[in-house]
Amino acid sequence: MTRNPHPDRRRVTPDSFAGHRRPDGRLGIRNRVLVLPSVICSHVVAEEIAAGSPGAVAAPHDHGCGQLGADAEQTERTLVGLAGNPNVAGTVVVGLGCETVRSDVVAAAVEERGLPVRELTIQDAGGTDACVDRGTAAVADLRESAAAQGTDGATATADEQTATLGDLTVGVVVDDLADSTRRHAYPLVAELVERVASAGGRVVVAGNERFAAHPEETRSLVGDAAADRLLDAAGRPARATRVGTEAAARGFDAATGFLGNAPVTGVAAYGQRVDETDAADAAAGAVTLLDAPSRVEEAATGLAAAGAHLVLHVTGQGTPAGHPIVPVVKLSGDADTLAAVPDDIDLDARETDADDLEAYLLAVADGDRTCAERHGLTEFAIARAGPST
């Protein structure tokens, strides 16, 4: 059963939800304008713009300056991917004016995808206060444009269309291999993954450490070419993590038992949209592995950039982190965690069945707020591709 049921459901039927249809046909479950700093130097301005703009969220980070090569490319790719998340109605990219990851380049890439975007820099605007004023006006402009450009002539806010489980892209990250997680949470997640895939939806799974610990099994799962993109074969610095160490010790089945029996069709790079992978045609109705760590803040950002509508975070530790763009649903089967932070966990895996889990995710897709959303938790982090400076 749910630990925090919400009374504000507005669904017509129990197996559907009302989503926001974008002019290009994408379906979002939130309707937010993203204020996106391209560099650490502009993140405070971005936060001020969002704070003064109803319906806007900021994604402050410490990247974009002094990054080189693959590291800078990954940051830029991720920022562009975030602007393309279906929960985003439009994006204001904010730069300083002299950064490595340039705001005009990010905005141009977003615009090339046909997405609503505005761009400004602190230096060109004439300083911090002027940039905040211009950014606030840009958010208002995007919201007005969105309201005038709903599909079939309807407004974006009124253009809510009924959707089902098969319309969702569900992100999944499991941050431990504890006995309680494997016993109580794995079977639930496995059945959910199979249900989403069977309905024609997409599942994107973060946690590259699990697969890096078992290269041969990973190659058998996704093939050599896709596995090479996920493993450390290309010389990426290996990262010793608790999840990776436990995955190596417990075996492949114990590390990946939550995947269920749905087909795994490909691998997405961090920041890459699922529909741009080599297996894009097969991604609907299947599982895509994301080259992202299991740390929830970095994983959620990668999953959001991949196109996930929401993230299912399976945690034995109870990490309460949310995300500014995607709702994060917390599922735990650990008795101590559930007793310690009951207001931060959405679902008790010991008392939940697959029907409960599916119903809860559909309710969140329909607008019910997760625990992290109700608490205003919007942690944001971008994974590093390797050392820069």
- Together in a domain, 170 and 272: yes
Measure the CA angle with vertex 201, ends 186 and 290; round to 5°.
Answer: 60
What residues pair up with 329 in beta bridges, in sequence order? 312
Task: Please tell me the distance from the alpha carbon of residue 94 to that of residue 109, in angstroms, as a whole number.
Answer: 14
pLDDT of 231 reads 84
Instruction: Indicate whether 383 belongs to any domain.
Output: no
pLDDT of 154 reads 33
Task: Please tell me the distance from the alpha carbon of residue 336 to that of residue 239, in angstroms, as a whole number.
Answer: 29
- Together in a domain, 91 and 193: no
Q: Of 105, 123, 153, which closes a domain? A: 153
Question: Over the Cα atoms of the chain, what is R_g?
Answer: 20
Instruction: Indicate whether 341 belongs to any domain.
Output: yes
Give the CATH number, domain containing residue 125: 3.40.50.2300
pLDDT of 152 reads 35
Instruction: Indicate whether 138 belongs to any domain.
Output: yes
Instruction: Indicate whether 176 belongs to any domain.
Output: yes
- Together in a domain, 205 and 328: yes
pLDDT of 284 reads 75
Instruction: Identify the DSSP state of 52.
Output: T
- Together in a domain, 137 and 197: no
The enclosing H or E element of 37 equals strand 32-37
Q: Which domain holds residue 94?
A: 32-153
- Together in a domain, 51 and 131: yes
Instruction: Indicate whether 116 belongs to any domain.
Output: yes
Q: Of 106, 127, 153, which closes a domain? A: 153
Instruction: Indicate whether 25 belongs to any domain.
Output: no
Nearest to 380 by CA among 61, 150, 131: 61
Task: Please tell me the distance from the alpha carbon of residue 65 to that of residue 366, in angstroms, as a whole number.
Answer: 38
Q: What DSSP assignment string belongs to 136-162?
A: HHHHHHHHHHHHH--GGG--TTT-EEE
- Together in a domain, 139 and 173: no
Edge-to-edge strand list for the sheet holding 117-121: 56-58, 32-37, 88-95, 117-121
- Together in a domain, 208 and 271: yes
Q: Of 121, 153, 185, which closes a domain? A: 153
Low-confidence ranges of the chain (pLDDT < 70): 1-12, 148-159, 232-240, 279-283, 387-389
- Together in a domain, 71 and 188: no
Number of domains within the chain: 2
Task: Please tell me the distance from the alpha carbon of residue 233 to that of residue 222, in angstroms, as a whole number.
Answer: 15
Task: Tell me how far CA of residue 258 lies from CA of 76, 262, 287, in angstroms.
Answer: 31, 10, 12
Is the CB of residue 118 less than 8 Å from the CB of residue 107? yes
- Together in a domain, 130 and 240: no
- Together in a domain, 148 and 177: no
- Together in a domain, 285 and 359: yes
Instruction: Indicate whether 16 belongs to any domain.
Output: no
- How does 240-272 read in b/e, with b if 16+ C-beta sit within 10 Å? ebebbebbeebebeebbbbbbebebbbbbbbbb
Task: Please tell me the distance from the alpha carbon of residue 175 to that of residue 311, in angstroms, as a whole number.
Answer: 13
Instruction: Indicate whether 21 belongs to any domain.
Output: no
Task: Please tell me the distance from the alpha carbon of residue 173 to that of residue 313, in angstroms, as a whole number.
Answer: 5
Is the CB of residue 287 less than 8 Å from the CB of residue 312? no
User: At residue 348, what is the residue type?
Assistant: D
Distance in angstroms between the alpha carbons of the first and the last residue of the chain = 48
The enclosing H or E element of 47 equals helix 43-51
pLDDT of 385 reads 85
